[in-house]
Structure 1
Amino acid sequence: MLQNQSIIPDIKAIIATAQDKAIRAVDNERTLMYWTIGKRIFEEEQQGKDRADYGTYLIKFLAEQLQPEYGSGFSYRQLNWYRQFYRTFPIVSALRTQLNWTQYKLLLSLDNDDKREFYIAESVKNNWTSRQLERQINTSLWERLLMSSDRKDVLAVARNEKLPSDARQIIKDPMVLEFLELKREASYYERDLETAIITHLQDFLLELGNGFAFIARQKRIHIDGDDFFVDLVFYNRLLQCFVIIEIKTEKLTHQDIGQLQMYVNYYDRIEKNDNENPTIGILLCANKNDGVVKFSLPENNKNIIASQYNLYLPTEKQLLEEVKKELENFEEDKNQKF
């Protein structure tokens, strides 16, 4: 019997790496094939006298000829996808080898070039799977980030053209926590929500955004004989600061904001190093009053953020209404200042 058993996991790792590379190579070739088919269909379509009618006829004809031999990947519907793929991404060198065909199909469903570019950049940067990309689109990540930052900043941070200078550029409001599998109608305590977050920590880190690392749960703070416990502590390497999260399952109050401010002050004065940025505090609450948040904090506040959480996927209409409301509030604040 071999003395050194470490050869087994080594060889398994080699096999797994090779299999992963092979799968990626096949995905890339398949994606390129679909793009090339779409290009050829589009070029042929342009030769028709009546382009719309000819295009429909052409794809039906191709499906009849190809599907019996090559299967469902060459149905009328799929061939339409390939044509749309080429029309949306007409430059083959712009295709990302990190993205597979399933991800490209998700991106084709988006109706906005900036939004599509954002999801491409985030997918590549974070190595999202198809399922993760689908969730981020379904939870309207793009729209949620636009609530607290402008379009140019959101795109620049996604492309790595700039580091986030404000926590609001990466922290969402609302946060969507459907993966916790807690029912809206159920009655639960803050500890229940906290436990569910720890159980689904990987999904929660994805929802929090780029650069977050988990530090502690129920972190004990001792101040002049009194003990306090911070719900969750994270660190963000992009912002280079601690991020404290307090969970509130009831409506947010000014006392909650004051408590979080105390925790933030403690971390700034005791825990953080001189080369680190000021601590960020997030109140993750079931219900918030924006007016209470606004008047409980200084006008130039950038370190305390109240983010409402949803335990279900919001509809696009709901999020668009939220974006509209946030823009109206922004305009109102701007007019009051001037």
Structure 2
Amino acid sequence: MNPESPTEPIELYRYLRTLVEAAQSDSDPTPKFALVEAYWHIGRIVVEIEQQGQHRADYGIHLIEALSDQLTQAFGKGYGMSNMWRFKQFFLAFPILATNGREFINLRNHLRTELTWSHYRVLMSLENVQERDFYITQAADERWTVRFMQRMIRSRYYYHVGLEDNELLPSKTNRRDAPNGPLVGSSPTPSVVGGTKRSRLAAVKKILLKRYVGFAFVGQRQYVSVRGKDYWVELVFFHIVLGRFVLVQLSTHSPAALAEFRLILDSYAQKQPPTIPTLPVGLLVDEAGRVKYATTSGEVRLGQDEEAVLPLSF
């Protein structure tokens, strides 16, 4: 879709109709993104109409309203004035510069085609461009649904994945060949051996967030009740690849400790959001930094693929 924009009302409508019809065509390998493309171009045209000058402001508004009515009559709901202004916001949030004159670069070289209009509607509300780009990459690479992406944004995942407020998850170019394996980094590894319990937990948190893909920090010291006895889960993460909550406790690997942790996992499974159907998994970390996996009583063990994305030791 690189045609020059027409300027006359009838030509504009025909041009926009061509865009929308192309987006609804079965021949496009990415039909959902074709609609995104059409909406972006509609937003571009709305901006161009508004930029024609103050003396043409009333005419510009009238023209946009007329185009909205014509598109609504031709294609149904989705092209009302509220959406026309939303398309405008979309273009302004993702401006793509022209190569020459009014000919625009292929939008598919600049936006991720895996994402739908519903994804971009959520993303364009983020004012921090770096944060928005981060979620675009994560959502496209990990095939996030819109609802899951919204949940990750609300949980401030972007701000939790780094060690400091201004440090982000290392880019994919720093990952090992295994897509869900640990990250390679030059920073010294915090120690989980020795020191206070607080410092050891801080080290576990930093290692999981910096060196392993997919961990989002949820919280610490989360309360659960097991058979009338109160427990505190020391660290809770959500793993976006596994789709599971991951609970971390500092403990020995004794059979008694493992049995108690399973009861905690059972209790946590009962309180986790109903939108997460998968059961939680636990990591018991001993004083030497070795990890013992724990599952709920409803699972015998994790699958090999699932174990591959979790740490063996710290």
The CA deviation string for residues 129-162 of structure 1, in whole angstroms up to 9 with x for no partner, is 222212211222112334x3354532xx3x4132
> Does residue 153 in structure 1 map to residue 182 in structure 2?
no
Q: 1:67 to 1:96 in 2, by over 3 A?
A: same
Give the 5 Å matches for 1:13-24.
none
RMSD between aligned alpha carbons? Answer: 4.6
2 CA distance for matches of 1:28 and 1:193?
A: 50
> Does residue 29 in structure 1 map to residue 34 in structure 2?
yes
TM-score by length of 1: 0.48
Residue aligned with 1:153, SS: coil
> Does residue 174 in structure 1 map to residue 218 in structure 2?
yes
2 CA distance for matches of 1:228 and 1:144?
A: 29
The CA deviation string for residues 56-100 of structure 1, in whole angstroms up to 9 with x for no partner, is 555444334433443221111111111111122222220111111
| Equivalent of 2:114 in 64, 88, 98 | 98
Q: 1:44 to 1:212 in 2, by over 3 A?
A: closer
Does the 8 Å CA contact 2:33/2:116 hold for their aligned counterparts? Answer: yes
TM-score by length of 2: 0.51
Give the 5 Å matches for 1:120-139.
120-139=136-155
The CA deviation string for residues 19-75 of structure 1, in whole angstroms up to 9 with x for no partner, is xx9896321221111111112222222112268877655544433443344322111
Q: 1:129 to 1:62 in 2, by over 3 A?
A: same
Q: 1:261 to 1:81 in 2, by over 3 A?
A: same
1 CA distance for matches of 2:134 and 2:217?
A: 18
Give the letter for the 1:110 counterpart: L
2 CA distance for matches of 1:153 and 1:52?
A: 43
Task: Find the counterpart in structure 1 of residue 124 from structure 2.
Answer: 108
| Equivalent of 2:239 in 208, 213, 217 | 208
Give the letter for the 2:258 counterpart: F
1 CA distance for matches of 2:228 and 2:63?
A: 60
Give the 5 Å matches for 1:1-338.
25-49=30-54, 58-91=63-96, 92=107, 93-146=109-162, 148-154=163-169, 157=170, 159-163=171-175, 164=183, 165=185, 166-169=207-210, 171-175=215-219, 188-189=225-226, 207-209=238-240, 228-229=257-258, 231=261, 245-246=283-284, 260-262=285-287, 264-265=289-290, 279-280=313-314
Q: 1:44 to 1:167 in 2, by over 3 A?
A: same
Residue aligned with 2:173, SS: coil
2 CA distance for matches of 1:51 and 1:192?
A: 72
The CA deviation string for residues 255-301 of structure 1, in whole angstroms up to 9 with x for no partner, is xxxxx43373476xxxxxxxx97614xxxxxxxxxxxxxxxxxxxxx
1 CA distance for matches of 2:229 and 2:79?
A: 49
| Identical pairs, percent | 24
Q: 1:191 to 1:60 in 2, by over 3 A?
A: farther
1 CA distance for matches of 2:230 and 2:49?
A: 57
Does the 8 Å CA contact 1:48/1:54 hold for their aligned counterparts? Answer: no
2 CA distance for matches of 1:244 and 1:189?
A: 16
Report the structure, 1 or 2, having the larger helix content: 1
Q: 1:140 to 1:192 in 2, by over 3 A?
A: farther
Give the letter for the 1:208 counterpart: H
The CA deviation string for residues 217-260 of structure 1, in whole angstroms up to 9 with x for no partner, is xxxx876xx75417479xxxxxxxxx9625xxxxxxxxxxxxx4
1 CA distance for matches of 2:168 and 2:145?
A: 25
Q: 1:187 to 1:78 in 2, by over 3 A?
A: same
